[in-house]
Chain A
Amino acid sequence: MNISNYDWGLIWENHGVLLNGLLVALQVSVIALVISIFGGLLLAVMRLSKPPISWIAVAYINVFRGVPALVSVIWVYFGVALLLGVNFTVFQAGVIALSLLYSAFMAEIFRSALGAIPPGHREAGQALGMRGTRIFFSVVLPQAIKIALPNLGSMFIGMVKDTSTFTVIGLLEVVRVTQNLVSQSFQPFVLYTAAAAIYVLAAFVIDIVFRLIEGAYASPPRGAISRVLRSRKRQRIQQLMAEVGP
């Protein structure tokens, strides 16, 4: 077969279907990202707690970091139905499987981020009479999130790619959609190249989005949106300066 036999026009003809697959993959990943950020934070705090609680977190993290996405989704979709009689939709099963896995990864990211906050900041909060929970939410956590952000971006790209394994339960994400098109056109090389390009493009856009978020979280914040927000803050401070006097 010569390269000219490949029908590259197929990609454009089916771009709507392919991008729909990406949309499904992104929907599953975004919901799972939100869940696993909270799950990961909770696990990280448990991991840093005293023994009986920390053991639970250690066990969870070590099990779920090791399970492949493919196995996890089969287990959630078929296994839970068999064992408990609960039938998830393929979309729900995908979200649950990803959340279970990535909570474990997020836990490790947040653990190291929480550990990176200088103890002096906590002490300063204590010396000011702040309560422990208040110190955690106002002093430690915002800084930890800032440290964790670049890793969260990489995690999210990994999540989008892992949705490709959910083709096994029939979720209409990029790979499943591609398989369907291949079975109609017998052009696997063209269509899988398109699928790969879609993933690369998605990763690129996600990277840009996370860089913008990182900029907004930087001290001082960078980027257009934060510049607008900051100018309002500046105005407030100008006003205060006028009120307080020289």
Chain B
Amino acid sequence: MSGLNTGEPVSDEVSAANQAAPVIQLRGLRKSFGDLEVLRGIDLDVVTGQHVVIFGPSGSGKSTMLRSLNMLEQPTAGSLKVDGVEYGPGLPDEPGVRRGKVLDLRRTVGMVFQQFNLFPHLTALDNVALPLRSVRGLKGAAAQLKAAEALRRVGLLQRAAHYPQQLSGGQQQRVAIARALAMDPKVMLFDEPTSALDPELVGEVLKTMREVAETGMTMVVVTHELGFAKEIGDLNVFMEDGLVVESGPRGFFENCVSPRAREFILAVR
């Protein structure tokens, strides 16, 4: 059932319900750094509730692709539509499309980084509460209450008064997940969220991510944890040299046909 059907939403049960309106739609997305073209035309559809896993060798462009989904990298060409609104340079044959502001895009899409990027001068609670105050406009007490709820979701309410340097890497990453979740995003992006962790701390972060996935959150995850990918991936995307080589639904890791994807999966395992 899979094949070289690049970018088509193929997750059977989920896409059946939402076929019409993907939350994220990439068409011919390109990104260059100077002479180096890192993304060479990416097509991808992500529908609501779908868990997309992106994997591939280093330098394949998967992080750049993820980072352009919230415009931390500005695409040089192509279309990036979120909720039907165009945020990228757009396509030449689609001039009348509704264009959105970067700030609005980022308020729709949450992101978790490889290096956690917690604010070190703030407690765990204030890390979550700061954007609630300054972006969502909540008052102090309301922001703290919502932040506390988010920390409870990731099982770290007991650590609310701790500063990032007093937390383990796994705990820091879970606070970072809580910080992004508290903003009620429509989509959560994860950029190699376990790559900077000690091996024994990977499990707790994956567990938290699994719990987020179970709530029906739409997720796009760049990861090297293929075991985890296999478990949550409704749509699995293998990238190399700035292109999607092959993508497919559940069972992709057994059924993929392109030699490069098979080779990569074998090598990682």
Residues of A bordering B, CB below 8 Å: 118, 120-121, 123-131, 134, 138-139, 142-143, 146, 219-220, 230, 233-234, 236-237, 240-241, 243-246
**Chain A to chain B: the 9 pairs with minimum beta-carbon distance, closest first:** A124-B117, A129-B107, A127-B111, A128-B131, A129-B106, A120-B117, A240-B148, A219-B163, A244-B148
Residue from B110, B148, B160 in contact with A127 in the complex, judged by beta carbons closer than 8 Å: B110
Cβ-defined contact, A240 with B121, below 8 A: no
Q: Is B157 an interface residue (CB 8 A)?
A: yes
Determine the chain A residues whose CB is within 8 A of the CB of B131 once the complex forms.
Answer: 125, 128-130
CB distance from A13 to the nearest CB of B (A): 50
Dominant secondary structure of chain A at its interface with chain B = helix
Q: Besides A130-B131, A230-B161, A241-B158, 19 other CB < 8 A contacts?
A: A118-B117, A120-B113, A124-B111, A124-B113, A125-B131, A126-B106, A127-B106, A127-B180, A128-B110, A128-B131, A129-B131, A131-B103, A134-B134, A139-B130, A142-B121, A143-B120, A241-B148, A241-B157, A243-B145
Of all chain A residues, the one with the shortest Cβ separation from B107 is: A129
Determine the chain B residues whose CB is within 8 A of the CB of A246 once the complex forms.
Answer: 152
Residue from A124, A237, A243 in contact with B161 in the complex, judged by beta carbons closer than 8 Å: A237
Determine the chain A residues whose CB is within 8 A of the CB of B113 once the complex forms.
Answer: 120, 123-124, 127
Cβ-defined contact, B135 with A244, below 8 A: no
Determine the chain A residues whose CB is within 8 A of the CB of B158 once the complex forms.
Answer: 241
Cβ-defined contact, A130 with B117, below 8 A: no
Determine the chain B residues whose CB is within 8 A of the CB of A134 once the complex forms.
Answer: 134
Cβ-defined contact, B106 with A237, below 8 A: no
The distance in angstroms between the C-alpha atoms of A177 and B132, with both chains bound, is 56
Of all chain B residues, the one with the shortest Cβ separation from A236 is: B144
CB distance from A229 to the nearest CB of B (A): 12
Residue from B119, B152, B179 in contact with A139 in the complex, judged by beta carbons closer than 8 Å: B119
Interface centre among A118, A139, A142 (most CB of B within 10 A): A139
Determine the chain A residues whose CB is within 8 A of the CB of B103 once the complex forms.
Answer: 129, 131
19 A-B pairs, CB-CB below 8 angstroms? A118-B115, A120-B115, A124-B117, A124-B176, A127-B109, A127-B110, A127-B180, A129-B131, A129-B135, A129-B183, A131-B134, A138-B134, A142-B121, A143-B119, A219-B164, A220-B162, A241-B160, A243-B145, A243-B148
Cβ-defined contact, B106 with A121, below 8 A: no
Of all chain A residues, the one with the shortest Cβ separation from B135 is: A129
Residue from B72, B117, B123, B144 in contact with A121 in the complex, judged by beta carbons closer than 8 Å: B117
Determine the chain B residues whose CB is within 8 A of the CB of A245 once the complex forms.
Answer: 152
Determine the chain A residues whose CB is within 8 A of the CB of B70 once the complex forms.
Answer: 127
Cβ-defined contact, B130 with A138, below 8 A: yes
Interface size class of B (residues with CB under 8 A): 35 or more
The distance in angstroms between the C-alpha atoms of A139 and B158, with both chains bound, is 24
Determine the chain A residues whose CB is within 8 A of the CB of B72 once the complex forms.
Answer: 123, 126-127
- Tell me the B145-169 residues at the A interface (CB within 8 Å): 145, 148-149, 152, 157-158, 160-166
Determine the chain B residues whose CB is within 8 A of the CB of A121 once the complex forms.
Answer: 117, 119-120
A219-B148 in contact given A127-B106, A234-B161 (Cβ < 8 Å): no
The distance in angstroms between the C-alpha atoms of A237 and B70, with both chains bound, is 32
Of all chain B residues, the one with the shortest Cβ separation from A143 is: B121
Of all chain A residues, the one with the shortest Cβ separation from B166 is: A220
Determine the chain A residues whose CB is within 8 A of the CB of B119 once the complex forms.
Answer: 121, 124, 139, 143
The distance in angstroms between the C-alpha atoms of A246 and B157, with both chains bound, is 8
A240-B107 in contact given A123-B117, A126-B72, A143-B121 (Cβ < 8 Å): no
Of all chain A residues, the one with the shortest Cβ separation from B117 is: A124
Q: Is B125 an interface residue (CB 8 A)?
A: yes
CB distance from A159 to the nearest CB of B (A): 27
The distance in angstroms between the C-alpha atoms of A149 and B94, with both chains bound, is 54
Of all chain A residues, the one with the shortest Cβ separation from B108 is: A129
A146-B148 in contact given A120-B115, A128-B131, A129-B131 (Cβ < 8 Å): no
CB distance from B239 to the nearest CB of A (A): 21
CB distance from B106 to the nearest CB of A (A): 4
Determine the chain A residues whose CB is within 8 A of the CB of B125 once the complex forms.
Answer: 237, 240
Interface centre among A126, A131, A245 (most CB of B within 10 A): A126
Residue from A138, A146, A240 in contact with B145 in the complex, judged by beta carbons closer than 8 Å: A240
CB distance from A124 to the nearest CB of B (A): 4
Cβ-defined contact, B134 with A219, below 8 A: no
CB distance from B265 to the nearest CB of A (A): 30
Residue from B107, B145, B165 in contact with A244 in the complex, judged by beta carbons closer than 8 Å: B145
Of all chain B residues, the one with the shortest Cβ separation from A217 is: B121
The distance in angstroms between the C-alpha atoms of A237 and B161, with both chains bound, is 7
Of all chain A residues, the one with the shortest Cβ separation from B151 is: A244
Determine the chain A residues whose CB is within 8 A of the CB of B144 once the complex forms.
Answer: 236, 240
The distance in angstroms between the C-alpha atoms of A16 and B110, with both chains bound, is 64
Of all chain B residues, the one with the shortest Cβ separation from A146 is: B121
